[in-house]
Amino acid sequence: MRPFLPDWAHPWVEAISIALQIVLIILFAMLLRSLLHRFINRLSVEKNLPLDFTVGSKRLVTLLLSGAALLWILDRMGVSAGVIWAGFTGFVTVGAIAFFAAWSVLSNIFCSVLIFTTRPFGLHDHIELLEGGDKPGLAGEVLDINLVYTTLKEDPVDGKEPTHLRIPNSLFFQRTTRLRKSQLPVLGSLLD
């Protein structure tokens, strides 16, 4: 092709060639997608398939073809599949570790939102988290409810000073809670 081009266009031959290849890859992917969508439509009419199956199949075909076309385009641009795979697996690994590390905190925050909205207990209520069935567990007066912990003031035992317990909010949704309402007047919510 170089002999047919003027001298000033020679440095651009490779870039133009790659651009044309990318355009051809995109056109091929679009044509194949259209043919597969028609095939799925015809098959769904002939076999009387449910609409959600047809839509799901079309979306899956589009996703797979788009991914394959993207990988093919990146290959034509000089990016190796090994580099793409290493980057993808590294990203997924870091994401999984971060999700696992944040699981406990996110669980406690979500449970605190549930405690604030459903109000299974309030400040100055006396509650007890039962271990199993009717076994005694953690008990005391609710002093504070925040996004991660609920602070309980344990009832004094044998004349000792009461201790404060910080119980993760998610624990209230994993165990049975015994509630003794407070005798102190507590302000109701705005919804009451």
Note the pLDDT tens digit of each residue in 51-76: 888 999 999 999 999 999 999 999 99
User: How many domains is the chain partitioned into structurally?
Assistant: 2
Q: Do 84 and 74 share a structural domain?
A: no
Which uninterrupted H or E stretch holds 153?
A: strand 149-153
Q: Which helix (H) or strand (E) holds 114?
A: helix 81-118
Question: Would you say how long the chain is, in residues?
Answer: 192
What number of other Cβ atoms are within 10 A of residue 150's Cβ?
25
DSSP state, 188?
A: P
What amino acid occupies position 98?
A: A
Q: How many CB atoms lie within 10 A of CB 110?
A: 14
Q: What is the pTM of this model?
A: 0.50
Same domain assignment for residues 178 and 168: yes
Distance CA 34, CA 57 (A): 13
Per the domain annotation, does 158 fall within a domain?
yes
Claim to verify: residue 98 and residue 71 sit in the same structural domain: no
Domain membership flag for residue 47: yes
Q: Are residues 90 and 51 in the same domain?
A: no
Does 117 share its domain with 170?
Answer: yes
* Domain, as residue range, for 73: 2-79
Same domain, 65 and 98: no
Domain final residue pick, 47, 79, 111: 79
Identify whether residues 156 and 128 lie together within a single domain: yes
Where would I find the H helices in 5-80? Answer: 13-47, 51-76
Q: Are residues 104 and 176 in the same domain?
A: yes
132 and 51 part of one domain: no
d(CA 30, CA 36): 10
Q: Identify the pLDDT of residue 134.
A: 66
- Residue 152 in this model has a pLDDT that exceeds 90: yes
Q: What is the pLDDT of residue 190?
A: 42
Amino acid identity for residue 110 in this structure: F
Task: Examine residue 188 and state whether it is found in any structural domain, yes or no.
Answer: no
The CATH number of residue 154's host domain is 2.30.30.60
Between 53 and 10, name the one with better pLDDT: 53
* Domain edge (last residue) among 16, 51, 79: 79
User: How distant, in Å, are the alpha carbons of 124, 129, 178, 184 from that of 187?
Assistant: 11, 24, 21, 10
- Collapsing DSSP to helix, strand or coil, 120 comes out as coil
Q: Do 32 and 90 sit in the same domain of this protein?
A: no
Shared-domain flag, residues 178 and 97: yes
Q: What is the pLDDT averaged over residues 126-141?
A: 83
Under a CB-based contact definition with an 8 Å cutoff, are residues 72 and 25 in contact?
A: yes
Distance from the Cα of residue 23 to its chain's centroid? 35
Domain identity same for 72 and 123: no
- Domain end, chosen from 44, 79, 114, is at 79
Q: Mean per-residue pLDDT for 132-150?
A: 85
Which residue in this structure is represented by tokens 């004094």? 156
**Mind giving me the DSSP string for 66-81?**
HHHHHHHHHHHTT--H
Please give the single-letter amino acid code of residue 1. M
In single-letter form, the type of residue at position 64 comes to: L
